[in-house]
Structure 1
Amino acid sequence: MDESIKVVLVDDHQVVLDGFSARLEWEVGIDVIGTASNGLEAVDTVARLKPDVILMDISMPIMNGIEATKLIRESNPEAKILMLTMHDKREYIMEVMQAGALGYMLKEISAEKMVQAIKTVHQGATYFCESVAQTLFTQEVIPKVSKSNPLSRREEAVLKFVAQGHSSKKVASLLNISYRTVETHRQNIKHKLDIHSTAELAKYALEAGLIE
């Protein structure tokens, strides 16, 4: 049996931490191993406990969630951070994703969707709750793709699957190529497009008509 997903919750309101902990307490396969009440404390807690997924609030004292996300990702690029907030403005969403978070959901999300989000980012894919996805994808946030698409056919195929939320391991299986080859393609795609996050790749793929 697979080990439980180890989660750290970060929020400056104890009642919120208690509420989220209670939501996840009886979920099979998820184990809340620690909490933090501000971004600085989150950086220390994550370094000490090494969770699989971090649920991070944005607005907190001492250090906000965006700065904490940047610091955590600098020391651990593989850290999987899921932002859990009341803010659904595009500026917040874009700043969060550029900081390196894999997902963004509002605090009003159901327990079922929260569990789905945790499992999704744990696999290395991105997750946006419905209202956040609408905010991202119904407004122009990157330039329309020009006809001179710099990507090769294979890179387009990799980008399509990545944008659909598949992990590099899954993409390798779908395209019958090695994991290392997929990772190489991903780096080449980011370099060619000057894109630095999975969320931006997804938006590019949407604009390019690779996904609907």
Structure 2
Amino acid sequence: MKSSIIIADDHPLMLRGLNDFLKSKGYNILASAKDGKEAYNLIVKHQPEIAILDIRMPYLTGLEVAEECLKNEIETKIILITFDKGEELYDKAQDLNIFGYILKEFAIEEIENCITSVIKNKPYFSEEIALYLNSNSNIQKPQSLNNLTKAEVRVLSLIAKNRTAIEIGDELSVSSRTVEKHKSNIIKKLNLESKHNSLSLFAKENEQFLD
């Protein structure tokens, strides 16, 4: 059986579309909710592996549900779906250790890749969001990138493309253990926090400098 999932969205068509699509792909949909309060109660009750939440819902937003889960040490991994590309919401999602952040217009196309990535404890953020954020801010190349070796830059580039350690190892003809060592060195050289998604988020935000 594939991962256990709860879905919440206050738009009935979106809720039904995601529910039907994921069921057709063999995922175990435990329940669905039409608002944030109901979603949070279902998460507490069922403790699903993954919760797919609309950001803007009545009673509690997707971000507020994620905040409650973090506060109460609920291990359910949160995926947010939204029409909003705003930087402020994206930053909040990062702060709350959100595992996935995808745009509604691409939800059906991206949700399987997102879930696959999240199951592997690897955050997934829509490429469209990263591109939008990059185009709407004057991002300069971080000086710390100059401290990386060519191999480390290549590893970082593949992380930005949501590749796993095994996939990166295959592409670079090295072991996954070597890849993990590279990742550890990169985190130290870039002086990143040791959050589970800090390296992935840094890679996505600076992908344009990794070619």
| 1:179-190 paired onto structure 2 within 5 Å | 185=184, 188-189=187-188
Whichever structure has more helix as a proportion of its residues is 2
User: Cα 1:5–1:48, aligned 2, differ >3 Å: closer, same or farther?
Assistant: same
User: Cα 1:147–1:201, aligned 2, differ >3 Å: closer, same or farther?
Assistant: closer
- Length-normalised TM-score, structure 1: 0.73
Unmatched runs of 5 consecutive residues or more in structure 2: none
The equivalent of 2:17 in structure 1 is: 19
**Cα distance in 2, alignment partners of residues 116 and 58 from structure 1:** 19
Q: Is 1:61 aligned to residue 68 of structure 2?
A: no
**Cα distance in 2, alignment partners of residues 101 and 7 from structure 1:** 15
The equivalent of 2:203 in structure 1 is: 202
> 1:94, CA displacement in angstroms?
2.7
Q: Is 1:137 aligned to residue 137 of structure 2?
A: no
User: Cα 1:140–1:44, aligned 2, differ >3 Å: closer, same or farther?
Assistant: same
Deviations 1:99-158 (A, max 9, x none): 222222222226343333322322333333343232133333765311685667886565
The equivalent of 2:87 in structure 1 is: 90
Q: Say which SS state the counterpart of residue 80 (structure 2) adopts.
A: strand
Q: Is 1:113 aligned to residue 110 of structure 2?
A: yes
How much is the aligned-residue C-alpha RMSD, in angstroms?
3.6
Deviations 1:4-62 (A, max 9, x none): 122210123444322321232312x3221112333333333223323232211111222
Letter in 1 for 2:96: A
Unmatched runs of 5 consecutive residues or more in structure 1: none
The equivalent of 2:67 in structure 1 is: 70
Whether the 8 Å CA contact 1:81–1:102 is kept in 2: the answer is: yes
Name the stretch that deviates more: 191-200 or 91-100.
191-200
User: Cα 1:39–1:204, aligned 2, differ >3 Å: closer, same or farther?
Assistant: same
> 1:82, CA displacement in angstroms?
1.6
Whether the 8 Å CA contact 1:145–1:204 is kept in 2: the answer is: no
**Cα distance in 1, alignment partners of residues 187 and 125 from structure 2:** 25
- Length-normalised TM-score, structure 2: 0.73
User: Cα 1:84–1:54, aligned 2, differ >3 Å: closer, same or farther?
Assistant: same
Aligned residues: 206
User: Cα 1:200–1:25, aligned 2, differ >3 Å: closer, same or farther?
Assistant: closer
Letter in 2 for 1:193: L
**Cα distance in 2, alignment partners of residues 183 and 62 from structure 1:** 44
The equivalent of 2:44 in structure 1 is: 47
Letter in 1 for 2:191: K
Q: Is 1:126 aligned to residue 127 of structure 2?
A: no
Percent of aligned pairs sharing the same letter: 24
Q: Say which SS state the counterpart of residue 41 (structure 2) adopts.
A: helix
